[in-house]
């Protein structure tokens, strides 16, 4: 078997070691520069050529200060002095000059070069270009600043916790929602933001999730109660996500205070109930008026018949029969007085009119009418800018719109596409409204009698709504009509007086 010569086992020969060192210096990605004790360049590798733009022939034998910015010369002399005292300078960040005059950020490591006796004969400098690294750091700082800005301005409270439930981050919206400053809660358990018994049970929820992976709120969201610093509670919509950053498992919670939204919904529900109540009262009044009109005719006939009977009575009629006829006559007259009184009570109200913002009226009424519907209805408002104001009784026009919108929604129940369009157009002295739906349209048997009292297509309707609407619009000097467009559905059209010139708009 061939044996390795003894000298090969002792390591590379001096010439081989020098060749290896030269190869390392030549192939290094860092600029490696050698200089003597007078700062004259003695070696200049290929990476130095690429970094500074000077070739080795241009630099060897030249002062190293050719690549040192003038304002950094004293800095270099101080570093060299430290090296002469035996120190090593590593990863010192500074700037250098290129051949074309550019200043570039660099990291410099400087160490002495010693001869065989240990005497300093020169200095070795390893220079690394930091341009790309600084650009990456700048981009990273920009992204961090952008993310922080987004976190700071996001309207939802953002709370970040670790797997122990300890708060790591608390944004300004969270400070406003919970009443704590970030410094007061960071490092504390998130349970202080929850009312009992949720607070005590929270850590158990986290532990169970980490152990089983079963999600009950993470990625799902739910409405829960939050607890403020003053101990009061408030409803909030909570969404939780999770993230792993450098091996750290964190949970990110977004909480939205629902107090204002629930108050708006409560107020909207109250307004809807109020408008519906007024509508019902108005319907009742009109129905009473219609009934009184219908009943008054047979009562008049009864009175006429009794008058005729009186003239036919003879003197020999039994007193008891004459007395009975007189009592019938008295009661018939009493009934007519009651009916007349009821009609007077219903019709005596003279509601004031004033200039109203029709856009606001339409938006409020449509929002009220669509609350609680069991179907998705697309609302298309086409409101002309020059038809914004009308001289109307606001409550009565709201009642008309509410009735038409509710009828349209009910008509579109089950339709493949439910769309409600409300449009206003300015006429010379009036504002014209159209309310159109995409329902099945009006049956021929109903269209001609649509506005008569007690005519309805609803199984449980009284049939007085549209009759009342027509009365209201006629009271405003207009006309309520119904059309069946060629492309289907039903379109109602009516008009009201435009804003009077003498009065400014009421906003």
Q: If you average pLDDT over residues 63-78, what whole number do you get?
A: 89
Mean confidence (pLDDT) of the chain: 80
What residues does each domain of the chain span?
A: 21-132, 152-257, 261-347, 354-497
Q: 357: buried, middle or exposed (CB in 10 Å: 19+, 13-18, 0-12)?
A: middle
Torsion region of 68: left, alpha or beta (phi above 0 gives left; psi -120 to 50 gives alpha): beta
What is the CATH topology of the domain spanning 152-257? Beta-Lactamase (3.30.450)
* pTM to 2 decimal places: 0.42
- Would you call 169 helix, strand, or coil by DSSP? strand
**Confidence band of 179 (pLDDT split at 50, 70, 90):** very high
So what's the architecture of 21-132 in CATH? 2-Layer Sandwich (3.30)
**Confidence band of 79 (pLDDT split at 50, 70, 90):** confident
Residue-level pLDDT at 448: 65
Kindly write down the DSSP assignment for every residue of 209-260, as one continuous string: HHHH---SSBTT-EEEEEE-TTS-EEEEEEEEEEEEETTEEEEEEEEEE-HH
What is the CATH topology of the domain spanning 354-497? Heat Shock Protein 90 (3.30.565)
pLDDT at 377 over 70: yes
Q: Lowest-pLDDT range, 44-53, 282-291, 362-371, 476-485?
A: 282-291
Residue-level pLDDT at 210: 73
Whether 21-132 shares its CATH topology with 152-257 is answered yes
- Using only C-alpha atoms, what is the Rg of the chain? 46
Torsion region of 359: left, alpha or beta (phi above 0 gives left; psi -120 to 50 gives alpha): alpha
Contact 365, 405 (CB under 8 A): yes
Q: Does domain 261-347 have CATH number 1.10.3720.10?
A: no
């Amino acid at each position: 078997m061939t044996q390795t010569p003894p000298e090969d086992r002792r390591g590379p020969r001096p010439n081989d070691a020098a060749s290896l060192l030269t190869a390392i210096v030549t192939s290094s990605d860092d600029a490696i520069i050698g200089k003597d004790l007078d700062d004259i360049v003695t070696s200049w590798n290929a990476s130095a050529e690429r970094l500074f733009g000077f070739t080795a022939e241009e630099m060897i034998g030249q002062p190293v200060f050719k690549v040192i910015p003038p304002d950094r010369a004293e800095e270099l002399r101080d570093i060299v002095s430290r090296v002469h005292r035996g120190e090593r300078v590593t990863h010192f960040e500074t700037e250098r000059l290129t051949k074309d005059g550019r200043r570039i950020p660099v990291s410099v490591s400087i160490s002495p070069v010693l001869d065989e006796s240990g005497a300093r004969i020169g200095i070795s400098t390893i220079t690394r270009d930091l341009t790309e690294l600084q650009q990456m750091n700048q981009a990273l700082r920009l992204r961090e600043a952008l993310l922080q800005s987004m976190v700071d301005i996001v309207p939802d409270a953002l709370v970040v916790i670790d797997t122990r439930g300890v708060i790591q981050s608390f944004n300004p919206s969270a400070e406003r929602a919970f009443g704590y400053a970030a410094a007061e809660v960071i490092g504390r358990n998130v349970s202080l933001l929850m009312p009992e018994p949720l607070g005590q049970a929270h850590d158990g929820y986290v532990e169970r999730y980490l152990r089983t992976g079963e999600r009950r709120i993470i990625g799902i969201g739910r409405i829960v109660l939050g607890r403020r610093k003053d101990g009061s509670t408030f409803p909030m919509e909570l969404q939780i996500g999770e993230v792993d950053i450098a091996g750290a498992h964190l949970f990110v919670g977004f909480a939205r205070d629902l107090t204002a939204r629930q108050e708006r919904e409560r107020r909207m529900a109250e307004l809807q109930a109020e408008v519906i109540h007024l509508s019902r009262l108005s319907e009742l009044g009109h129905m009473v008026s219609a009934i009184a009109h219908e009943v008054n005719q047979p009562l008049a006939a009864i009175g006429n018949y009794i008058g005729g009977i009186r003239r036919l009575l003879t003197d020999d009629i039994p007193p008891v029969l004459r007395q009975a006829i007189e009592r019938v006559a008295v009661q018939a007259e009493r009934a007519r007085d009651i009916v007349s009184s009821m009609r007077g009570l219903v019709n005596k109200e003279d509601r004031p009119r004033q200039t109203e913002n029709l856009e606001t009226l339409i938006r409020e009424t449509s929002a009220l009418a669509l609350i609680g519907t069991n179907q998705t209805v697309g609302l298309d408002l086409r409101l002309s800018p020059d038809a914004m104001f009308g001289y109307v009784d606001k409550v009565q026009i709201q009642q008309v719109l509410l009735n038409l919108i509710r009828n349209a929604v009910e008509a579109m129940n089950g339709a493949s596409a439910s769309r409600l369009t409300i449009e206003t157009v300015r006429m010379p002295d009036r504002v014209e409204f159209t309310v159109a739906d995409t329902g099945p349209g009006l049956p021929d048997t109903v269209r001609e009698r649509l506005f008569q009292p007690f005519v309805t297509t609803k199984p449980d309707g009284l049939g007085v709504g549209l009759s009342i609407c027509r009365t209201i619009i006629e009271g405003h000097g207009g006309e309520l009509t119904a059309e069946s467009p060629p492309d289907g559905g039903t379109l109602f059209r009516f008009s009201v007086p435009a804003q009077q010139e003498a009065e400014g708009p009421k906003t």
